[in-house]
Amino acid sequence: MQRSSPFTAFVAFVARALLPGLLAAGACGSAAAGLVELIATARPSVVAVGLYDPTASPRFGFRGSGFVVGDGRLVVTNAHVLPEAPPGAARTRLAVLVRRPGAAAPELRGAELLRKDAEHDLALLRIDGEPAPALALADPAGVKEGLDIAIIGFPIGGVFGFSPVTHRGIVASITPIALPLPAARQLDEKTVARMRSGVFDIYQLDATAYPGNSGGPVLDVATGQVVGVINMVLVKGTRESALTNPTGISYAIPGHFVQELLRER
Q: Domain boundary at 75, 102, 127, which? A: 127
Domain ranges, residue 151: 140-264
The rounded percent of the chain whose pLDDT value lies above 70 is: 71
Where are any strands of DSSP class E within 19-159? 46-52, 60-69, 74-77, 93-98, 107-117, 122-127, 148-153
Q: Which residues contact 257 (CB under 8 A, 6 or more apart)?
A: 117, 120, 122
pLDDT digits (tens, 9 = 90+) for 99-151: 887 777 899 999 999 999 988 999 999 999 999 999 999 999 999 999 999 99
Task: Give kind and range of the element (H or E) at residue 40.
Answer: helix 6-42
pLDDT digits (tens, 9 = 90+) for 150-187: 999 998 877 767 889 999 999 999 988 766 554 444 44
pLDDT digits (tens, 9 = 90+) for 12-33: 433 344 344 433 444 444 456 6
Same domain, 122 and 158: no
- In angstroms, the CA 48 to CA 210 distance is 14
The predicted pLDDT at position 200 comes to: 87
Report if residue 238 sits inside a domain.
yes
Same domain, 223 and 244: yes
Q: Domain boundary at 70, 98, 127, which? A: 127
Q: Domain boundary at 97, 127, 157, which? A: 127
Same domain, 251 and 172: yes
What's the structural domain count of the chain?
2
Q: Are 70 and 131 in contact (CB under 8 A)?
A: no
Helix (H, G, I), strand (E, B) or coil at 228: strand
Does the predicted model carry a pTM greater than 0.85? Answer: no
Report if residue 133 sits inside a domain.
no
Q: Are 66 and 75 in contact (CB under 8 A)?
A: yes
Task: Give kind and range of the element (H or E) at residue 264.
Answer: helix 255-264
Same domain, 119 and 160: no
Same domain, 59 and 106: yes
